Each structure stands twice: as structure tokens, then as C-alpha cells.
Amino acid sequence: MDSENNIKNLGKRAIKQVAESINKLLPFVDDNFEKVVKTCMESEGRLVISGIGKSALIGQKLVATLNSTGTPAIFLHAADAIHGDLGMVQPKDLVMLISKSGNSPEIKVLLPYLKAMGNTTIAMTGNLDGFLAKNSDLLLNTTVSRESCPNNLAPTTSTAAQLIMGDALAVTLMELKGFGKADFAKYHPGGALGKKLYLKVEDILDREKSPVVAPNASWKEVILEISAKRLGAAVVMDGTEILGIITDGDIRRMLEKFDNLDALKALDIMSENPKQVGVDKLAYEAFQIMENNNITQLVVVEGKASKFVGLIHIHDILKEGIF
């Protein structure tokens, strides 16, 4: 059996070979790439992606990426296309065919039919002399020198190149279309990613559970208010003015600092200028404020006058499953 060092070296060599091939793709982001991007931008139809074998799997991933970043796309397996599914392709659709060699039998059968239907075809291939490259309208070059497979057979480096070139296309289209966070949120409403993009402080704030004490409240009253509202803190308010915040940590420091507690008031214990967040801000932004300032509570305010409306705890955000 090979030694552990040899196993690690084999793995590192495979990654290094793929990385070197990916870097060599940079010159292929050329005039041809620009033509593909512009054609996609001007298209009134969808981008249909097709392929066979491992290239088909890459195509499915690219379709998912394109759809989630604002470019309508569908996947059509090349074998299914020539056995009845070609009806999926509409007149205004662009069709991208992915193939390392560009000479797969299914591709050779499919491409002429697409041309006859009048659809613009895009070749993503690593063989510029192949049937696909020579007979398509547009070209994305994904040539690699060799596969990381020791036999130079299993699609490894070539599929990585296809994936990277496809992602480059998707990201370029995304930026040119001005596809921002708000758009991204519309297409990702579920799960942690969706919540990170649309869940606001308002959505997790309990306005009825707002721990507040007056400046002259005794330390016992402060502790009772913190315990009652279960947010680990209380906000010190003078009318509508926010004076400070008292956290569990402030209580512990008070016990360590003072011997005579009877005369202590909230004003003596509080930390001034507590960190605040607008009720309309994303919960993710609130979490970042807490994380950057090493705190677990945030005062929530509303409107231009920064009216106090409540307090949120870091646990309120974590229980939503954003992280």
C-alpha cells in the first residue's frame, strides 16, 4: 500500500494540474467570449444547455447557476433531444452544446437539427478542430492540455474548465444586468441563504418584550426587568431618550466593583451609547454589528428620530437558522 505521504502527493498533484489548467483559460475570455455574452444579453429567449456524459452534468449545474442569477436557462440532455425532447427548444432560444471533443455522436446528430430550426448555437468545447466548434455560430474555448487522471482519460480537468467558463459567463451576465441582492433574494426565498437576504430585524423583533428601566431604577429593579424579559439586558430610558444599556455583564461587573449596592441606580451601572440597528435593516446586518463589536444585544430604533422600539438578542437571529 502506498505511504501516507504518497497519497497526499497524489491528491496535491491532481489539484495542481487542475489549477494550472484553469489559469490557462484566461486568454480564452476573448472576443468570442464577448460575442457570447452580448448575444445572451440581446436574446429574447432562454439559454438551452445540452451535453452528453460528464459534460451533461456540468450543463445541469450551469443551468442552476444561470437561473439563480437572472438568466433564464433550461437543460436538455443531448440523447433525449434526438429522441423526442427537441420540442423543448423554442424559436428564440439560444442553445449551448458542451462537449470536450465536439465529436460525440449525439452532438453530431443534434447540431444540424438546431441549425435547421434557426436557433443560434454556442459551442463550449476543448477541441477547436472538432465538429461542434466548426459548425456552431459562437464559441467558448475550454481547451486543456491533459486530464488530471493519470491515464489522461477520465474527464476531470476538462469538466473543471467547463464549469469555470460557465460560471464566468453567468457572473458576467449577472453584473451586466445589474442583478443585485434584492433580485437574488427573490430567487432564493428558502433556507439560510434566503433568510440572510430578506429576513429583517422587524421580522424577529418582539415589540411587546422590550426591557426598559428608568435612570433612577434600583439595581434590584434592573435585575427583575432583565429576568422578566429574558433578553439578557435592559435599556435605560429617560422618557423617549435612550441613555444606555445594562447587560448581564454589567451586573456582574457591578457586583465586583461596589461593596455598598443599596444606593446604586441604573444610571450608575449602565453602559452609555449602546449600539443600535434600524428596524428595517436585515437581520444579517444586525448579526454583523454584534459580531464586530463582540456584543449579544442590539437596541432597535425606528425612523429618522431613532425612536426606541425594542431589543434583540443574538439568539433571536441564530434560532432562525441563518448561520
Q: Which residues are annotated as a binding site for Zn(2+)?
A: 77
Rounded Cα–Cα distance for residues 180 and 169 (Å): 16
How many Å apart are CA 126 and CA 121, to the nearest integer? 16
Q: Is the CB of residue 82 less than 8 Å from the CB of residue 110? A: yes
**Cα–Cα distance measured from residue 14 to residue 77, given in angstroms and rounded to the nearest whole number:** 29
**What's the DSSP call for residue 265?**
B
Burial tier of 254 (Cβ tally within 10 Å: 0-12, 13-18, 19+)? middle
8 A C-beta contact, residue 52 and residue 97: no
Q: Which residues are annotated as a binding site?
A: 77
Sign, CA torsion 276/282/285/287? positive
Q: How far is CA 162 from CA 60, 137, 158, 297, in A?
A: 12, 18, 6, 46
| Cβ neighbours for 269, distance < 8 A, ≥ 6 positions apart | 219, 222, 246, 250, 251, 254
